[in-house]
């Protein structure tokens, strides 16, 4: 029986035998990275080595204990977790969470800064009966407590936009306008949005025009094939090269992190995504 672990192991062996990359790494106008959780069966060191040979610049969504691993390969953690207690359902939209979140960020943001991690993730939390207006006001209040910490250490807090239609029912930050209104109200260069294009395609579509309209509030971007959150290939409804080109034409200075669950050979799928988004 051929297992998923066997396929990944075989792909790593072939990757190494070929010098770690099927073709030379290519350069483009965007800085690309890859989300760790999508490649959990590949040891982080090996994922970093493969990513570096593809021309990626970092690994997304690492815990502080993992921050140093990408640095051994000339990469960085491009998005870190600064507060484990802040989860997708339980976030900034409830004031009773703010004290604990602030305590965690007072530890987590300096850790990120010391390791050269430019961004840390944050979540709105689920509605649970809260109106969007009240949730936004609460989120602004929470971010206003956190922004001096982020500003002092040069680390950007990115509130992630997620779909509530399919993957995260009841999540509040499920439209770009809600997130942009929060970021606008906070008014800090260290508080931005994590624009997850997979999630926003599901919720609202119109990706390129939405990105153009809100680029000043977008600090980080995630990819993922729609439907299914799989490879960025011809089975998907999004023209990822066009999205990448729009970001590059806007002189986007953040990272575009690939956050899809690969089908087939995982490293080949990742390299394909990197090349599609190299513009």
- List residues with catalytic annotation: 160, 259
Find the length of the chain: 279
> What six digits make up the tokens of 2?
């051929």
The dihedrals phi and psi of 93, each to the nearest 5 degrees, come to -80, 5
Two structure tokens written together for 25? 């790494």
DSSP H helices in the chain: 4-17, 44-54, 68-71, 98-114, 132-153, 176-186, 197-203, 207-214, 240-249, 266-276
* Helix-, strand-, coil-residue percentages of the chain, each rounded to 5: 45, 15, 40
Q: How far is CA 160 from CA 12, 71, 80, 82, 216, in A?
A: 31, 25, 13, 14, 15
Burial class (CB in 10 A: 0-12, 13-18, 19+), 195: buried
Mapping DSSP to helix (H, G, I), strand (E, B) and coil, where does residue 210 land? helix
**Torsions phi, psi for 142 (to 5 deg):** -65, -45
Nearest of 222, 220, 129 to residue 167 by alpha carbon: 222
């Amino acid at each position: 029986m051929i297992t998923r672990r066997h396929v990944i192991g075989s792909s790593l062996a072939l990757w190494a035998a070929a010098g770690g990359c099927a073709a030379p790494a290519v350069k483009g106008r965007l800085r690309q990275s890859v989300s760790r959780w999508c490649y959990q069966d590949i040891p982080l060191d090996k994922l970093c080595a493969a990513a570096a040979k593809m021309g990626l610049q970092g690994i997304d969504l690492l815990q502080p204990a993992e921050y140093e691993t990408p640095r051994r390969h000339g990469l960085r953690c491009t998005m870190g977790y600064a507060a484990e207690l802040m989860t997708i359902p339980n976030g900034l939209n409830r004031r009773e969470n703010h004290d604990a979140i602030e305590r965690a960020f007072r530890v987590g943001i300096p850790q990120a800064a010391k390791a050269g991690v430019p961004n840390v993730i944050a979540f709105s939390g689920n509605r649970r009966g809260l109106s969007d207006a009240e949730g936004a006001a609460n989120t602004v209040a929470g971010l206003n407590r956190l922004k001096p910490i982020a500003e002092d250490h040069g680390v950007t807090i990115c509130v992630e936009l997620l779909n509530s239609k399919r993957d995260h029912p009841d999540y509040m930050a499920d439209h770009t306008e809600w997130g942009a209104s929060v970021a606008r109200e906070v008014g800090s260069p260290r508080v931005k949005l994590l624009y997850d294009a997979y999630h926003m395609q599901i919720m609202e579509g119109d990706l390129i025009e939405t990105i153009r309209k809100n680029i000043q509030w977008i600090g980080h971007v995630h990819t993922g094939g729609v439907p299914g959150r799989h490879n960025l290939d011809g089975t998907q409804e999004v023209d990822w090269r066009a999205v990448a080109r729009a970001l590059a034409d806007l002189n986007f200075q953040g990272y575009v992190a690939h956050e899809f669950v690969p089908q087939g050979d995982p490293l080949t799928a990742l390299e394909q995504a990197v090349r599609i988004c190299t513009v």
